[in-house]
Amino acid sequence: MMGRAHLMIGTGVTLSVMGLAGIPVTLPAAAVAAVSSLLPDIDEPNSILVRTVLPAGVLRVMQLALIAGAVFVYYYGQDYAPWNLFLAGLIGVVSFLPGRTLRHIVMFMIGLGLLQFGQAFSPWNTIAGCVLIISTLVSHRGLTHSVYAAVGWTMLLYFAAQGTMEERSLWIAGGMSYTLHLVADMLTNRGIRPLPPLKFRLRLKLMSTGSKWGTLVENVCIMLTLVLLWYTFIASR
């Protein structure tokens, strides 16, 4: 399913259910729901979430910096020949990699950086670092589309919000929105593998992403979500 549909359906349904159940719908809870609706696709370098954090402009700047770095290494490393040429060539090759590969590399590097330098600040940096590194190493719709990931994310939010005002709203918003993403992907013909390494696949084949029928189903689901939102927050008040 497309990111836009995930964002609208996941966030909309989550907030509506919370509203109907009397759970406070706060701004942080809404933000967590929105991020959680896109989070499972973090292993896809062209997904909305990754493109938002690492937009094409940032990648361009990085490519230029890498090319400048390669030139620098070549000129100032001449004492170490032929290694300067070797290293400059390597940096040059990285700078010309396609966007999605570059994003993968950047995500991996940020993950390593968080692990290396983030520990002093908070244990959450370690967790975020691990999430980033693992997500670059697993295949799309692998581990992030499993029951483990949904449970892990929900527990993470549960413990992170302990003792704050958002105690209940956050983990319910995040857990529900993340799970809704998996349910939505379950409807597509690729489906998900909820319990890897078991090969068992949940797949309802109701639609294929990108096809005319698939887009129609997505739009109908988005409309229903808007109706639900309208009912919950306007009509029933």
Q: Cβ of residue 70: shortest distance to Zn ion, in angstroms? A: 36
Run of H or E including 68: helix 56-76
- Give the contacts of 4 (CB within 8 A, at least 6 positions apart): 48
Q: Cβ of residue 232: shortest distance to Zn ion, in angstroms? A: 25
Q: Cβ of residue 25: shortest distance to Zn ion, in angstroms? A: 24
Q: What is the residue whose two structure tokens read 């709203």?
A: 169
Sign of the CA dihedral 108, 114, 115, 117?
Answer: positive
The token pair at 223 is: 């409309």
Q: What is the residue whose two structure tokens read 């689901």?
A: 221
Q: Cβ of residue 86: shortest distance to Zn ion, in angstroms? A: 40
Q: Cβ of residue 127: shortest distance to Zn ion, in angstroms? A: 21
Residues that bind Zn ion (CB under 5 A): 40-41, 185
- Give the contacts of 144 (CB within 8 A, at least 6 positions apart): 39, 40, 41, 42, 43, 135, 138
Q: What angle do CA 216, 141, 102 make, to 5 degrees?
A: 100
CA distance 12 to 6: 10
Q: What CA–CA distances, in Å, run from 171 to 19, 161, 164?
A: 15, 8, 12
